Each structure stands twice: as C-alpha cells, then as structure tokens.
Chain A
Amino acid sequence: KQEVTQIPAALSVPEGENLVLNCSFTDSAIYNLQWFRQDPGKGLTSLLLIQSSQREQTSGRLNASLDKSSGRSTLYIAASQPGDSATYLCAVIRSGGGADGLTFGKGTHLIIQP
C-alpha cells in the first residue's frame, strides 16, 4: 500500500526566505506526482504536475523535483511572500487510468511572517 509522508508538518519563516518542502513515497511505481496548495476550508489548487519520466517542473517561483528511484520529491519556493501561507500537499497516482486515485500526504502547513 502506497504511503506518502511530508516533512515538516509545519513551518514558519520570515518573508523573503527560500524554502524547501519534502515529500516521500513508499512505492516508486508511480505514474505522476502532483503538488497542491490548500487555503483553510477551501479546495485544492494544483501547483505542479511531474510525470514519472520527468525530473523537475517549474512555475514562477515554484520548482518541484522528482527522484522516483528514491521515492522523494521536493517543492522549492523562492522569495517567499505572506500570500504563500497555506497548506501544501503532495500526492501520487499509480496508474494512467487513475483507478486507484491520488494518495496524499498530510501536508505541510506553511506560515510566511510579514
């Protein structure tokens, strides 16, 4: 059974810092990995999708890497801003058909201090 772990569970940093969020998964047979952002009481916003054949994806100040063989992904946030405060979730899917659904970690609760 796939298990996804996110470290740290919570993080509070001053505005302007660069930071790294970590995600690990136990079964390396994944189809893709997706990073999401969730604001309190809201739905999930897709940030980045990395296909299993890719090593990284970038969008603006965000960069996600994937090392499938070691079961790890990192989300790098450059020049953090108070608006980045949210919970960040990573999720993996095993097959292209998606019949198993996404398996999520518990998330990293991020606070950016002004």
Chain B
Amino acid sequence: DAGVTQSPTHLIKTRGQQVTLRCSPISGHKSVSWYQQVLGQGPQFIFQYYEKEERGRGNFPDRFSARQFPNYSSELNVNALLLGDSALYLCASSGGTTNTEAFFGQGTRLTVV
C-alpha cells in the first residue's frame, strides 16, 4: 500500500509569487491535514479537510488556502510568498472522525528567495 505522497519534494520560489503543493492520502483515508515546520520547531497546524470540507484552520493568514478533491487528494496554495514562508510543508492523512492516527508524507521543502 502506498503511503502519503507529496509533490514536489523541493521547490524554490521568489518573494511575491504563488505556490501550489499537492498531497495524495493513503487509500481509504478521507481526512487530510496540512502542517508547516520551520527549522528547529515542531509542525504547526494549517488546515484540516474531511470529505472535501474544511473542518479546521490554524493561525495562518488568508494567503494560505487549500482544497480537497473528490478522490480525497488535496492542494495547499500560498499566495504572495514571504521569506518567512520558507519551511517544510507536511501533509498528513487519517481515517476520519474517530480514527485520528495521523500518517505523514515526506514533505515539500519550500525555499523563498
């Protein structure tokens, strides 16, 4: 069984640009969450989607948005990139409302220059 897959693995963007990160959950998982991890810190919660609806949002500006597709894959979009958005972006999938064990992908390393 494939685990959580994220693409791309690395990318470099310029300040002010927009970026889209992609995530495919484990087969059968309906919940996808996004996290931002800066160096030396634990991951910070950005969004949770379940059954294509946003169920939770962390303390991030409106430049961050996401969506979930009918096949439960998800995209995270960040507009007007700032240098401080440079981080490892992690996607996690879980089974659903009661099965919250989270399984993470390998992450996307975003560098903003």
Contact = CB atoms under 8 A, between A and B. Distances in A.
Interface of A: 4, 31-32, 34, 36, 41-46, 49, 89, 91, 93, 96-107
A98 B104 contact: no
Contacts, number: 77
Given A41-B109, A105-B42, A107-B42, A99 B102 contact: no
Contacts of A45: 104
Interface in B29-61: 31, 33, 35, 40-46, 48, 50, 55-56, 58
Nearest to B107: A43
Given A89-B42, A98-B94, 8 more contacts: A34-B101, A43-B105, A91-B43, A97-B50, A97-B56, A97-B97, A99-B56, A102-B45
B106 interface: yes
Contacts of A32: 100-101
A44 B100 contact: no
B10 to A, nearest CB: 10
A112 to B, nearest CB: 21
